[in-house]
C-alpha cells in the first residue's frame, strides 16, 4: 500500500515542505534537493551514499567516513540528512571528497531523480530512518543496500511485531544489516529477519572521538566560572526546563542549560527569570557574572564545551515523552549522567550504564536535585563506571568499513 501511494503523495510532501518553510525548518535555498534535484554534478569515480537523518546520526558516521576515504582514495561520499540543523553542522565539518544533500521525499519521481543523478555504488542507511520507496528504487538499479548501526526503540519493536509482514518486507531489501545492540537484534529475529546478513557489531557512537571544543574558550570559561560547582542540562525539551529549574533551586552553583532546539531560548530565559535566577544567553554574547545562576547555551556545535565544564549532566528528552538522547558524549568527557525514565531510543545503553552505576535515573525535580547535589567524588565514580561501558563492544567502525568495502567495486 505504501509503495502504491508513493506514486501520488507528492502533494502531501509539498504541503509538508511549505509548512516546514514557514516555521524555519526548511532552507529555501535547498528546497529542490527534497525533490531529487541536485545543486551540483556527480563527481567521477565510485560514490558511497550515507543517509543519516539528523544531527546525532550524521555526527556518528563522520569517523567511518574518514576511514573509508583513507582506505579508498578514489571514492566520494554523499551524505543526506533530513534536518536543517544537521545540514548546518555538516557544512562546517565535511572533509574533502564529501558532499551533502537534503534527502529527497519518498515519492517515485523524487527517488528516481535522485538516484539517476547520483548513481551511488553503495547505499547505506544509518540507525532508524528507512524509506521504503527509495529502498525499492535502489534495488531496481542493483545498488547494494546496507543498514548500518541499526537501532529501533521498544515502541518500534512492538510495531514491527504487530505488522511483522510489512516490517520484514522492508528490511529484507537490505544486503547486510549491522546492529548496534542486542535488543534490536532480537527484534529483527522476532519478525524473521536473521541469518548471516544480520550481525551484532556494537554502536558507531562508541567509536566516535569525544566532542571537540575551542580550548581557548574552555580555559576562559573555567577562569570566569572559578571554583563554583557546575552542572549541565543538555538537549532539553519543553516541560523539562521547569523540572530542571526547580531542581536547581537547591544547587549553589551554575546551571548550563542547553535546549535541544535553540529557537526556544527566549521562552526558556523567561522561565529562568520567573524562577528568580540571574540568567545569561550565549547567543546574545552575555557574560557569566559572579551572580549568574543559569547560562543558556543556545548555540549549535558546542556541547563539547558544556560537558567538559560540568561534573554532572542531565541528558534531556528523558523526562519528556521523547525517548531520550545520546549519553555517549557526556560519558566520553567525564560528566556523570542523569536521565529520566523515557529513554526508549537508547534503552540498551542506558540499561548498561545504570547497572554499573555509570548513570542514575531521576523522576522529578526532587530526585534530580538530590542527584545533582551528590558529592563530587560520587559523580567522578559514576563517570569512571560509564567509561567501562563505552569500552565494551567498541569496534563497530571497523566492522562497518569491512562491509562497505566488500560491496564497493
Which amino acids are annotated catalytic?
57
Q: How would you list the strands of the sheet with 145-150, edge to edge? A: 98-102, 76-81, 47-51, 122-126, 145-150, 176-179, 198-200
Given a contact cutoff of 8 angstroms between Cβ atoms, the answer to whether 237 and 322 are in contact is: yes
Q: Which of 179, 218, 219 is nearest to 202 (CA)?
A: 179
Cell numbers given for 353: 550504564
Cell numbers given for 29: 535555498
Q: Which of 212, 220, 250, 281 is nearest to 59 (CA)?
A: 212
> What span, in angstroms and rounded, lies between the C-alpha atoms of 152 and 184?
6
Given a contact cutoff of 8 angstroms between Cβ atoms, the answer to whether 338 and 315 are in contact is: yes
Please name the residues in contact with 39: beta carbons below 8 A apart, sequence gap of 6 or more: 30, 32, 33, 101
What's the number of CA atoms in the CB half-sphere (13 Å) around residue 52? 27
Please name the residues in contact with 3: beta carbons below 8 A apart, sequence gap of 6 or more: 132, 133, 136
Helix (DSSP H) and strand (DSSP E) numbers for the chain: 19, 14
Amino acid at each position: 500500500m505504501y509503495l502504491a501511494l508513493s506514486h501520488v503523495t507528492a502533494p502531501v510532501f509539498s504541503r509538508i515542505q511549505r509548512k516546514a518553510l514557514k516555521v524555519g525548518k526548511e532552507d529555501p535555498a535547498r528546497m529542490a534537493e527534497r525533490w531529487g534535484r541536485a545543486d551540483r554534478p556527480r563527481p567521477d569515480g565510485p560514490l558511497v551514499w550515507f543517509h543519516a537523518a539528523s544531527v546525532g546520526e550524521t555526527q556518528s558516521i563522520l569517523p567511518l567516513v574518514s576511514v573509508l576515504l583513507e582506505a579508498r582514495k578514489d571514492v566520494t561520499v554523499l551524505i543526506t540528512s533530513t534536518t536543517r540543523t544537521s545540514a548546518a553542522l555538516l557544512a562546517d565539518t565535511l572533509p574533502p571528497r564529501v558532499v551533502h544533500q537534503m534527502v529527497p521525499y519518498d515519492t517515485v519521481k523524487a527517488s528516481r531523480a535522485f538516484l539517476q543523478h547520483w548513481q551511488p555504488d553503495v547505499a547505506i542507511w544509518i540507525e532508524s530512518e528507512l524509506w521504503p520507496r527509495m529502498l525499492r528504487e535502489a534495488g531496481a538499479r542493483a545498488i547494494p543496500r546496507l543498514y548500518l548501526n541499526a537501532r529501533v526503540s521498544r515502541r518500534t519493536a512492538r510495531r514491527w511485531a504487530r505488522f511483522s509482514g510489512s516490517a520484514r518486507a522492508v528490511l529484507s531489501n537490505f544486503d547486510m544489516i549491522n546492529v548496534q545492540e542486542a535488543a534490536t537484534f532480537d527484534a529483527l529475529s522476532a519478525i524473521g529477519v536473521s541469518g548471516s546478513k544480520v550481525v551484532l557489531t556494537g554502536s558507531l557512537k562508541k567509536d566516535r572521538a569525544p566532542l571537540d571544543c575551542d580550548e581557548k574558550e574552555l580555559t576562559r570559561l573555567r577562569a570566569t566560572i572559578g571554583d563554583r560547582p557546575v552542572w549541565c542540562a543538555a538537549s532539553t525539551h519543553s516541560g523539562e526546563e521547569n523540572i530542571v529549574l526547580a531542581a536547581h533551586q537547591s544547587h549553589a552553583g551554575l546551571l548550563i542549560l542547553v535546549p535541544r532546539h535553540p529557537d526556544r531560548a527566549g521562552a526558556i530565559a523567561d522561565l529562568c527569570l520567573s524562577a528568580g535566577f540571574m540568567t545569561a544567553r550565549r547567543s546574545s554574547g552575555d557574560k557569566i557574572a559572579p551572580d549568574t545562576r543559569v547560562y543558556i547555551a543556545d548555540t549549535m556545535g558546542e556541547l563539547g564545551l558544556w560537558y567538559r565544564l560540568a561534573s554532572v549532566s542531565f541528558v534531556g528528552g528523558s523526562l519528556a515523552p521523547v525517548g531520550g538522547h545520546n549519553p555517549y558524549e557526556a560519558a566520553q568527557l567525564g560528566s556523570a549522567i542523569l536521565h529520566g525514565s523515557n529513554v526508549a531510543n537508547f534503552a540498551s545503553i542506558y540499561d548498561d550504564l545504570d547497572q554499573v552505576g555509570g548513570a542514575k535515573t531521576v523522576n522529578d525535580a526532587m530526585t534530580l536535585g538530590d542527584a545533582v547535589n551528590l558529592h563530587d567524588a560520587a559523580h567522578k565514580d559514576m563517570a569512571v563506571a560509564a567509561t567501562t561501558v563505552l569500552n565494551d563492544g567498541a569496534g563497530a567502525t571497523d566492522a562497518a568499513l569491512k562491509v562497505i568495502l566488500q560491496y564497493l567495486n
